[in-house]
Structure 1
Amino acid sequence: MFAKGIRWLYQSPPRTLVLGFAAIILIGAVLLSLPAAAAPGETTGWIDALFTATSATCVTGLVTVDTGTHYSVFGQIVILLLIQIGGLGFMTMATLFAFFLKRKISLRERLILQEALNQSSIEGIIRLVRRVVYYALAIEAAGAILFTSRFLFQMPLGKAAYYGVFHAVSFFNNAGFDIMGQFRSLTDYASDPLVNIVTMLLIISGGLGFVVLSDLTDIRHSRRLSLHSKVVLTMTGTLILVGAVVIFAFEYSNPATMKHLSLGGKILSAFMQSVSPRTAGVNTIDLAGLRQATQFFMIVLMFIGASPGSTGGGIKTTTFATLLGAVWAMIRGKEDVVMFKHRLAQERVYKALAVTLLSLTLVLIATMVLSTTEDHFFLQILFEVTSAFGTVGLTMGLTTQLTLAGKIIIILMMFIGRLGPLTLGYALTPKSGRELYRHAEGKIIIG
């Protein structure tokens, strides 16, 4: 029976990923529940430890207790390690250790890496893993140095360096955890150009995906970008710009958010709130004070999320671009979805539809259930659920008031959002053989 269970585990790379992430979350929860992980006078219940461990491993940022004041330095370092492992992927970290031990990477491990990094083949997968680690450490180090130089004006060198490293790792991995205290996030730096620009660059770098970063690095030699990179960069730039314009227009005169800021502060805040919903979870203005139109618009941005193979969540920018392409092709009476003079395979369109519909269904079901367990406004609940599914970490204040049932639902949404509904579906369903026949074509009326 045990041998059969082991075979069941190793039959499918998605299954290995699901159980691997679950194991890391449980280990993290045990560590965070230890008395040494809490600040003096604080205790961490099991459900709060599990919630925080899930949020960190799934690089979300939603917390039921304040990270900066509730946890000790040991607890914060555990959270930081979970963020790094969750952001890069536990298989990437395991492969890194294998490099150090000079152990050969097996075919099965390459297949799991292929699934974890959203690659279409295992060709060049080890080279990509090396680049993933190199890019992550280099970008995080640069961010840490810049943050430290800014925090030095407020605190001693040791504390400034610690704050710099923590926030650089958290923001690059799109986790949204901060140790500023009292759930403040970066609201004290709403008009600070250095903190805002560095934060946005870290978030965008982590959200583009390592394949795109690799393409951008090689462009000096290849002189061209892949179709994937072109779509990701175009959609990312468009969503950030459109998001900033919409948020600026809606919140410009809002006394609860941006009215008191200078023009430069308003522009920085608009761009930050446009970048952050793309799964980062950092805010420089009070989200509960946003107009409802802005809150709903941010829900849309959170649902779309970052790009494939990145540290972010959501349905992904390429999925959204594929759906737009399919709609545009249908309106024009074309059979093919064409992007940058390349035709997309029909399988890609089907996958985009499946991911979007599954994701939307999960968000709606979780929202309906939470609407019965939590006594809060519907938009507030929808915002929380979408934030959890998109591994964003933004909240309108609901997280700390969740019931036990609400916490469990949000934990599940963060877990599903990080792995992706299709990966979870592949892991839980038995592998079916190839169909040897096709049914006769039928017609139904659409629209």
Structure 2
Amino acid sequence: MKNFKTRFSTYKNTFRERYQNHVYESRDRILLLIKTLSVICSAIALVFLVYRYGFHVDAPIERVIFGTLDIIFFAFAAFFTLRVIYDSHWIDFLRKNWFEALLIAFIILFGAINYILNFRITYYYFELLGFTNPELANQHFLSIYMLLMIGLDLTRITTHLSEINYKPATTFLLSFVLLILMGAGLLMLPTMTPGRTSLDLIDAIFTSTSASCVTGLIVVDTATAFTLKGQIVILVLIQLGGIGMVSFATFFASFLTQGVGIKHQSIIQDYLSSESLVSATKLLRKVVLITLFIEIIGAVCIFYAWDEELWEQSQQFENIGEKIFFSFFHSVSAFCNGGFSLFSGGMADTNYKIDRMYNLHFILVWIVVLGGLGYTTIEDIFSFNNIKERFVKPWKQWNVVTKINVYTTFTLLAIGTIGFLLLEIEKLTDRTIIQAFVTALFQSMTTRTAGFNTMDFEALNPATIMMCLVLMFIGASSGSTAGGIKITTFVLVFVAAIANIRRQERIVIANRTIPDELIRKAYSIFIFAIAYNIVAIFLLLLVQEPSSPNDTKFILKIIFEQVSAFATVGISMNLTGELSFWGKVIIIMSMYLGRVGTLTLALALSNAVVTNSYRYPNAHVMVG
């Protein structure tokens, strides 16, 4: 017996050693094969899902599609199992990839119940919950589940960004190009628009750019030109464009997988205006959670702010689901400063009397303001740790960026509100004082890159339009969902100019010295923005003709449209729908550059840094 135990132990140790050697020798080859097959399966699944929801398909084709998806589900389960087997520290692997492991466990469990016990458990529960079409609900559930698996697969791919020889700025620019092209392709699918006609290519690119760059300018009516599927695509584009597709990928990579590379962190550092790579990665998780939290709270507030008593019976929400979708859509559009609305007239819609829902307007103002403050500012003000620390240490103040953003935001908001009240008082006489104030506050807010409007901007006074142009050009805070040259850029340029007039050697804000590098960067952004807008306005005047010879406001409309596009505001003097083909192309470029930033584009296109540490003799040049 003893000899048997000895031989068995020797055999077991030999088998374990051979197994470990085999695993070690074939590990890289097998993992590469798994990665390749996983990408192929994700691509096939994505094509099938696009075909299922983008085209009008019959029931037999649907069965083929979801039968193929079932096979891909099991393939993902097999790939994950092999990755666990070929990992030398499989417990740590499961701990780091806990979310994916949970999804795979459900796939195996549901698959066993469906195919071994011949019991469709998901279908059964949808039937139990009272869905009128449980089979369709089951298809939607499986599709969302598959998209989640594809998203995890794509997330693993994005972790290899550091291996690509591109600058962080270039990667950031390309991420928006990719998002725009994918959005345009989806919006051109037959089921995205009513009937069986597809959206024109230029209109699809324009709409996708406007949504991805959170602008809000539209060449087709979002409420009537798109089906529910098309509106959901626009909603996703606004969400991804507001936070940034790379930010989402980095968030999931850091939260669900083994981490991110330096290039990922560099992109996020620039996007969030963070002080260091470490703080950028930590802030990113808070960014996504803050965004979702505010959007959900905003959706709840909007849900109860709809004044359906103003609507006729034919204009009521069809069901509770439609009301929830409208609430969430406008909350996301407001926080991301998107400006898209599911009403044909936007917030100025008189048919649904949205222009008279002042409680709704007031809620939207606060959602937009929070979206425009910037994530670092929101985190500095509202994080539990900072609130607790300031309660214990009342002398602990906000950081400099928070002070600049908050004080300047509310100063510009007050200037705009007072300006609208004084300059457009004759158009507000049909409202009470409170209603007139909310209307003026809403219009002041919307010029800060929100894109909503409750008044006809074409009918406003030229002086009001001029005030709007200034507010639009300044925009909101850095590291936010808003556009413009940003508040901090404006403040630094303004303070630097005042300091230069006073012949001060250093720029000081809130008892802190501002480095010369930041001042130069602010001036660069300011000059690039002015230069680009001048060129774009000139080109628009060449390719665009007035709708009538007596249009005295044509030049003003062109200027307003261009600044609105560049600042990603999204309000218009009713010119967007009249744009020519080349006019749309110019506005598309303006929305894109306004979102990614002219300085980011310059850094992406520039070559290696040419140092000028050497110094020539000083020269005197007459200025002014």
Q: TM-score, normalised by structure 1?
A: 0.94
Deviations 1:273-309 (A, max 9, x none): 1111111101011111111110111011100001100
CA contact under 8 A between 1:42 and 1:70: conserved in structure 2? Answer: no
2:509 maps to a residue whose letter is M
Paired with 1:429 and 1:11, the residues of 2 have a C-alpha distance of: 12
Task: Give how far 1:381 is off.
Answer: 0.5
Aligned to 1:338: 508
> Equivalent residue of 2:449, what SS?
coil
1:285 matches 2:462: no
Q: Which moved more, 1:152-161 or 1:142-151?
A: 152-161
Paired with 2:322 and 2:305, the residues of 1 have a C-alpha distance of: 12
Q: Which has the higher helix share?
A: 2
Aligned residues: 439
> Equivalent residue of 1:190, what SS?
helix
1:264 matches 2:434: yes
Task: Provide structure 2 residue ranges, at least 5 long, that are not aligned to the other structure.
Answer: 1-160, 309-315, 391-395, 547-553
Paired with 1:307 and 1:206, the residues of 2 have a C-alpha distance of: 9
1:239 matches 2:421: no
Deviations 1:362-403 (A, max 9, x none): 111111111121123111000000000000000111101100
Task: Give how far 1:186 is off.
Answer: 5.5
2:326 maps to a residue whose letter is Y
Which of 96, 99, 105 is the equivalent residue of 2:260? 105
> Equivalent residue of 2:217, what SS?
coil
CA contact under 8 A between 1:186 and 1:282: conserved in structure 2? Answer: no
- After superposition, the CA RMSD in angstroms is 1.8
> Equivalent residue of 1:123, what SS?
helix
1:324 matches 2:494: yes
1:405 maps to a residue whose letter is W
> Equivalent residue of 1:167, what SS?
helix
1:227 maps to a residue whose letter is V
Which of 161, 170, 188 is the equivalent residue of 1:33? 188
Paired with 2:405 and 2:271, the residues of 1 have a C-alpha distance of: 18
Which of 295, 300, 311 is the equivalent residue of 1:140? 295
Which of 370, 378, 387 is the equivalent residue of 1:205? 370
Q: Which moved more, 1:261-270 or 1:159-168?
A: 261-270
Alignment map for 1:154-165 (pairs within 5 Å)? 154-155=316-317, 156-165=319-328
Which of 128, 144, 154 is the equivalent residue of 2:283? 128
Deviations 1:150-202 (A, max 9, x none): 23734232211110000000010000000012556566333433211110011
Q: Which moved more, 1:416-425 or 1:143-152?
A: 143-152
CA contact under 8 A between 1:191 and 1:264: conserved in structure 2? Answer: no
Task: Give how far 1:212 is off.
Answer: 0.2
CA contact under 8 A between 2:307 and 2:357: conserved in structure 1? Answer: no
CA contact under 8 A between 2:478 and 2:486: conserved in structure 1? Answer: yes
Task: Give how far 1:327 is off.
Answer: 2.1
- Going from structure 1 to structure 2, the CA distance change for 1:104 and 1:8 (only over 3 Å counts) comes to closer
Task: Give how far 1:335 is off.
Answer: 2.1
Paired with 1:10 and 1:205, the residues of 2 have a C-alpha distance of: 36
Paired with 1:184 and 1:315, the residues of 2 have a C-alpha distance of: 26
Task: Give how far 1:105 is off.
Answer: 1.3
CA contact under 8 A between 1:336 and 1:343: conserved in structure 2? Answer: yes
CA contact under 8 A between 2:347 and 2:355: conserved in structure 1? Answer: no
Task: Give how far 1:240 is off.
Answer: 0.3
- Going from structure 1 to structure 2, the CA distance change for 1:77 and 1:52 (only over 3 Å counts) comes to same
> Equivalent residue of 1:60, what SS?
coil
- Going from structure 1 to structure 2, the CA distance change for 1:371 and 1:68 (only over 3 Å counts) comes to same
1:305 maps to a residue whose letter is G
Paired with 1:181 and 1:242, the residues of 2 have a C-alpha distance of: 30
CA contact under 8 A between 2:568 and 2:591: conserved in structure 1? Answer: yes
Identity of aligned residues (%): 36
Paired with 2:570 and 2:268, the residues of 1 have a C-alpha distance of: 26
Q: Which moved more, 1:387-396 or 1:341-350?
A: 341-350
CA contact under 8 A between 1:33 and 1:46: conserved in structure 2? Answer: yes
1:398 matches 2:575: yes
Aligned to 2:606: 429
- Going from structure 1 to structure 2, the CA distance change for 1:100 and 1:232 (only over 3 Å counts) comes to closer
CA contact under 8 A between 1:384 and 1:398: conserved in structure 2? Answer: yes
Task: Provide structure 1 residue ranges, at least 5 long, that are not aligned to the other structure.
Answer: 1-5
Aligned to 1:178: 341
Structure with bigger gyration radius: 2
Task: Give how far 1:253 is off.
Answer: 1.2
Task: Give how far 1:431 is off.
Answer: 2.0
Paired with 1:124 and 1:167, the residues of 2 have a C-alpha distance of: 31
1:348 matches 2:518: yes
Aligned to 2:359: 194
1:201 maps to a residue whose letter is W
1:178 maps to a residue whose letter is S
> Equivalent residue of 1:284, what SS?
coil
Could you say which structure has the greater relative contact order, defined with CA pairs below 8 angstroms and 6 or more residues apart? 1
Aligned to 1:46: 201
Aligned to 1:412: 589
Aligned to 1:389: 566
Paired with 2:211 and 2:423, the residues of 1 have a C-alpha distance of: 32
Paired with 2:481 and 2:356, the residues of 1 have a C-alpha distance of: 27
1:169 matches 2:342: no
> Equivalent residue of 1:363, what SS?
helix
Aligned to 1:20: 175
Paired with 1:385 and 1:339, the residues of 2 have a C-alpha distance of: 32
Q: TM-score, normalised by structure 2?
A: 0.68
> Equivalent residue of 1:338, what SS?
strand
- Going from structure 1 to structure 2, the CA distance change for 1:92 and 1:109 (only over 3 Å counts) comes to same
CA contact under 8 A between 1:303 and 1:315: conserved in structure 2? Answer: yes
Aligned to 2:426: 253
Paired with 1:100 and 1:233, the residues of 2 have a C-alpha distance of: 30
> Equivalent residue of 2:448, what SS?
coil
- Going from structure 1 to structure 2, the CA distance change for 1:185 and 1:41 (only over 3 Å counts) comes to farther
Q: Which moved more, 1:413-422 or 1:221-230?
A: 221-230
Paired with 1:104 and 1:8, the residues of 2 have a C-alpha distance of: 14
Task: Give how far 1:141 is off.
Answer: 0.3
Paired with 1:434 and 1:217, the residues of 2 have a C-alpha distance of: 42
Q: Which moved more, 1:105-114 or 1:390-399?
A: 105-114
Deviations 1:14-42 (A, max 9, x none): 00001111011000000001111112365
Paired with 1:425 and 1:120, the residues of 2 have a C-alpha distance of: 21
Q: Which moved more, 1:343-352 or 1:259-268?
A: 259-268
Q: Which moved more, 1:117-126 or 1:377-386?
A: 117-126
> Equivalent residue of 1:445, what SS?
coil
1:286 maps to a residue whose letter is D
Task: Give how far 1:60 is off.
Answer: 0.4
CA contact under 8 A between 1:91 and 1:116: conserved in structure 2? Answer: no
> Equivalent residue of 2:359, what SS?
helix
1:16 maps to a residue whose letter is T
Q: Which moved more, 1:336-345 or 1:355-364?
A: 336-345
Task: Give how far 1:108 is off.
Answer: 1.9
